[in-house]
Structure 1
Amino acid sequence: MPDKLKISSSHWVLIVALLATAFACYLLIRPYVNSIMMAFIISLLMFPIHEKMESKLPSYPNLASLLSCVILTFIIVIPLLFVFGAIVQQGSKFSQNVYQWVTHGGIQTVFNHPLVVKVLAITNQYLPFDEISPQQIAQKVGQFATTFGSNLVGISAKILGDATSFIMDFLLMLFVLFFLLRDHDKIIASLRHIIPLSRSQEDRLLQQIEQVSKSAVMGSFLTAIAQGFAGGIGMWLAGFPGLFWGTMMGFASFIPVVGTALVWIPATIYLFVTGDTGWAVFLGIWSVALVGSIDNLLRPLLMQGSAGMNTLLIFFSLLGGIQLFGLIGLIYGPLIFAITIVFFNMYEEEFQSFLNKQDNS
């Protein structure tokens, strides 16, 4: 057993002061924590590329880090600009088609469908609501369609504001990423020196943080891309704007439990009540068999390295992460769970003799 560390009163004053100033620093950087964390996680993903840059430019660490950031920018930003432009174009065209469909009696055709008539009759008979009138619903939809143009302007302004915020966060993330890549060895050495753990425990902790960060990013974002791609193809074959709705399905895949069903179920119902029964059946089967299987198979496969977490823990880490932190919680949730499991294993090893003695008592 190592000698016990003797902590004097002056040491306690120093520890308390350090914690207080560290908390004050956290308050200063709290608005930028997500950008810093994303820079940290992306630095783990980019480090193999950056090591090649460093090997070719050993005397120019600043240039190597700059080139790594430029490569990341081309990998992420340039494709996003093309995709965003196509999404805006398809979304605008789809909105115009919806407006034309509603104002030219399309909604009335839906309410005249025998299945819709039957569902409304059952609803009015058994549910304790006021009677649902198709005319009232059609009137509300018509009013929405009339004001859709002004609503679209407001939505566009919000999207523009979100895009501006995304660009600012991305630039801040690149700035932090530059220093993380350039000073990677110094940062790791400083952390090892400060953390009061053995070298083997530090190695395990850092390894799990790296592994879980990579698996969380791969598991969440690659699954979203795969589901958006497969869902977009299905929607395109069924006659919808494929890129627009594929992107919507990609975003919807981040929502636990319901996921892409938020998009393909209404689309399937629409096809069915408008008479495209064959395409409705196709889209339903395609979405359940292909898009749903991607989430059930690919996500657990990509996240299987999350510190030995089983599917139940991964599910609650994702669900709780989104609830607590928002979309970034898809990374924070598994990371918190994994670090907790690592510390629990360290505790079990450190107190193994005591725990065994307790089991035998």
Structure 2
Amino acid sequence: MVDKLEQRSFLILLAVVTALFLFLLKPFFAPILWACIIAVLFHPLQIRLERWWGPRPNLTALTTLLACVVLVVIPVLLLLTSFVQQGVDLYQRLDSGELRPGQYLDQVRAAFPMIQELLERFDINTDRLRESAAAAAMTASRLIAQNAFAVGQSTFEFVLKLALMLYVAFFLLRDGRRLIEELVHALPLGDERERLLFRKFSEVTRATVKGNLLVAMAQGALGGIIFWILGLPAALLWGVVMAVLSLIPAVGAGLVWLPAAIYLYAIGEWVSATVLIAYGLIVIGLADNILRPILVGRDTKLPDWMVLLSTLGGLALFGINGFVVGPLIAVVFIAFWQIFSKEFNQKESNSKKTDEVEESNSSEPEPPAPEPESHS
């Protein structure tokens, strides 16, 4: 009785201390998350370096981290800087009245009377829609400008989180396999189950980041290129917007290039509008279907409806990090239920087989007793 009380008390204290430690790490959730993602994504490169150089954990981890900085971190920082600059420029042009989104909507409405009739049939007030479009454009550009100012004011905090991410990523690259083995040994879920869950985490992290993020970057780059070729303003800004929208399933970059094509038709740019629609359908639209199987494969693909719900839920709860966290939670949910279903059905089938064997043994007729031998 005393041993059970001590064990329960220890488990309660263990849960409380673990919760406090996780709460302590809450302000650094994003750097730690992306450090884990870097360790998972660049682990194959680290293995290849270990084959070339032998067991040199510090050197291979540092080289892998430098490759990550050169290939990923620096290009993303340059892209974000250009994106913020164009966003601030767009806000200034909207604020000064140089750009008027409501005027563009009026041009589309005048060029396509059928759109006006369709909106009136559904009882949609076009004047209110015009004001809402102008207000939305102003709000979005103001948000970009305010965030740019906030980033400038909190540069030290941003640099600190970036350094923390790279620091944690180095130790995860160096000691990650040992940490996983210690977790497998410590967690009371069964070694096979824990290895399956860690494997699912690794697969879905690669599928979500390497697949969704690279496909989104490809679609955004393709969209920005065609906007630049056609002479549309703020090509880089709209390319980044298309990349962000491509992260959300069933939405995609069409929310940007399709209205742009309609506007080009409205102002009489028929050739440019037709080129943009054909390019959007053929090049941008097919990029997902061609690149995703190459980058990810189909083994870890979640159902489309679950990807949509988990991504939207993750974005609502965790912000921009939610496009990774949401599908991870969904795949862990599926993995737990798969383990439960497999083991429960296996136990149930084994018990049924045992019952059938016992019933068959009980239903078999007893062999006749041997006749007594007659001694003549």
Q: TM-score range by the shorter chain?
A: 0.7 to 0.9
Show CA shifts across 1:167-188 (max 9, x none). 4332211111111112123212
The yes-or-no answer on 1:185 pairing with 2:185 is no
- Other-structure match for 1:50: 46
Q: Could you tell which deviates more after superposition, 252-261 or 226-235?
A: 252-261
Q: Alignment partner for residue 7 of structure 2, among 8, 11, 26?
A: 11
Distance 1:77 1:327 in 2: 16
- Other-structure match for 1:249: 242
1:1-361 alignment, distance < 5 Å: 8-54=4-50, 61-84=57-80, 86-87=82-83, 102=99, 107=103, 111=107, 114-115=110-111, 119=115, 127=123, 129=125, 132=127, 154=146, 156-158=148-150, 160=152, 166-240=158-232, 241-296=234-289, 298-299=291-292, 302-305=295-298, 307=300, 309-356=302-349
Q: Could you tell which deviates more after superposition, 52-61 or 231-240?
A: 52-61
Distance 1:268 1:48 in 2: 42
Q: Per-residue deviation at 1:339? A: 2.1
Tell me the SS of whatever aligns to 1:235: helix
Q: 1:68 to 1:354 in 2, by over 3 A?
A: closer
Tell me the SS of whatever aligns to 2:252: coil
Equivalent residues of 2:109, 2:115 under 8 A apart: no
**Counterpart amino acid of residue 68 in structure 1:** T
Q: Per-residue deviation at 1:209? A: 1.6
Equivalent residues of 1:307, 1:341 under 8 A apart: no
Q: Per-residue deviation at 1:14? A: 0.8
Distance 1:33 1:291 in 2: 33
Tell me the SS of whatever aligns to 1:259: coil
Equivalent residues of 1:306, 1:334 under 8 A apart: no
Identify unmatched segments of 5+ residues in structure 2.
357-376
Distance 1:108 1:312 in 2: 35
**Counterpart amino acid of residue 34 in structure 2:** M
Equivalent residues of 2:248, 2:311 under 8 A apart: no
TM-score, normalization: structure 2? 0.75
Tell me the SS of whatever aligns to 1:223: helix
Identity value in percent? 28
Q: Per-residue deviation at 1:58? A: 5.4
Equivalent residues of 1:215, 1:305 under 8 A apart: no
Q: 1:161 to 1:299 in 2, by over 3 A?
A: farther
Q: Could you tell which deviates more after superposition, 218-227 or 87-96?
A: 87-96
Equivalent residues of 2:230, 2:272 under 8 A apart: yes
Distance 1:164 1:36 in 2: 18
Distance 1:149 1:334 in 2: 29
Q: 1:36 to 1:358 in 2, by over 3 A?
A: farther
Q: Per-residue deviation at 1:285? A: 2.5
Show CA shifts across 1:220-250 (max 9, x none). 1011111112212221232224433222211
Q: Per-residue deviation at 1:332? A: 1.7
Distance 1:113 1:268 in 2: 14
Equivalent residues of 2:109, 2:116 under 8 A apart: no
Tell me the SS of whatever aligns to 1:8: helix
Q: 1:293 to 1:340 in 2, by over 3 A?
A: same
Q: 1:341 to 1:106 in 2, by over 3 A?
A: closer
Tell me the SS of whatever aligns to 2:302: coil
Equivalent residues of 1:110, 1:273 under 8 A apart: no
Q: Per-residue deviation at 1:16? A: 0.8
Distance 1:348 1:148 in 2: 47
Show CA shifts across 1:119-164 (max 9, x none). 55775687375x8399x96xx969x99x999998646414545876
Distance 1:200 1:188 in 2: 13
Tell me the SS of whatever aligns to 1:71: helix
**Counterpart amino acid of residue 127 in structure 2:** I
CA RMSD of aligned residues (A): 4.1
Equivalent residues of 2:108, 2:263 under 8 A apart: no
Q: 1:93 to 1:275 in 2, by over 3 A?
A: farther
Distance 1:100 1:54 in 2: 59
**Counterpart amino acid of residue 27 in structure 2:** P
TM-score, normalization: structure 1? 0.78
Distance 1:165 1:246 in 2: 28
Q: 1:279 to 1:171 in 2, by over 3 A?
A: same
- Other-structure match for 1:4: none
Tell me the SS of whatever aligns to 2:205: helix
Distance 1:180 1:343 in 2: 25
Equivalent residues of 2:108, 2:266 under 8 A apart: no
The structure whose Rg is larger is 2
Q: 1:116 to 1:191 in 2, by over 3 A?
A: same
Q: Per-residue deviation at 1:302? A: 4.7
